[in-house]
Amino acid sequence: MTFQELKNQLLRLTPSEKAEIIQSLTQTISSRAKGISKTPGVCGGEACIVGTRIAVWLLIEARRLGISEAQLLQDYPHISAADLVNAWVYADAHPQEIEAAICANQVA
């Protein structure tokens, strides 16, 4: 099967099926969350998309508030869909860290 054939088949899936495929692919990505860094003195040392000051907790909170991935990519044009996947994987691997950061920033 060629890439184009696969792409065409994926585009024919229902939104629910697409979400299931995305979830499955996300789970297969290493939990090391490439593309995420923690730098002392940058965003309070929080986990961020590499080369940015966009914290993973911020993206998670935005998603919880109903902001779509498409909207996030539009709002932050210098990050990619792969950056979002890396953020989701990191958050899945470090849920307590992300929750603590969200709570700390809601208080602030």
Over its length of 108 residues, how does the chain's per-residue pLDDT go in tens digits? 898 898 899 899 998 888 888 877 766 554 455 789 998 888 889 999 999 999 999 999 999 999 999 999 999 999 999 999 999 999 999 999 999 999 998 886
| Same domain, yes or no: 6 and 57 | no
| Same domain, yes or no: 101 and 73 | yes
Quickly list H helices, 1-108.
3-11, 15-28, 56-64, 69-75, 81-93, 95-107
Q: End-to-end CA distance of the chain: give it in Å, rounded.
A: 52
| Same domain, yes or no: 25 and 45 | no
To the nearest 10 degrees (0 to 180), the angle between helices 95-107 and 81-93 is 100
| Same domain, yes or no: 2 and 43 | no
| pTM check: above 0.75 | no
| Same domain, yes or no: 44 and 64 | yes
What's the pLDDT at 31?
Answer: 44
Distance (Å, whole) CA 98 – CA 92: 9
Distance (Å, whole) CA 73 – CA 94: 23
- From residue 15, alpha-carbon distances to 12, 21, 24 in Å are 9, 10, 14
| Same domain, yes or no: 45 and 96 | yes
Q: State the greatest distance between any 2 C-alpha atoms of the chain, in Å, as a whole number.
A: 52
What's the pLDDT at 108?
Answer: 66
What's the domain range around 103? 32-107
| Same domain, yes or no: 17 and 39 | no
| Same domain, yes or no: 60 and 99 | yes
| Same domain, yes or no: 10 and 63 | no
Structural domains of the chain, count? 2
| Same domain, yes or no: 3 and 44 | no
How far is CA 13 from its chain centroid? 22
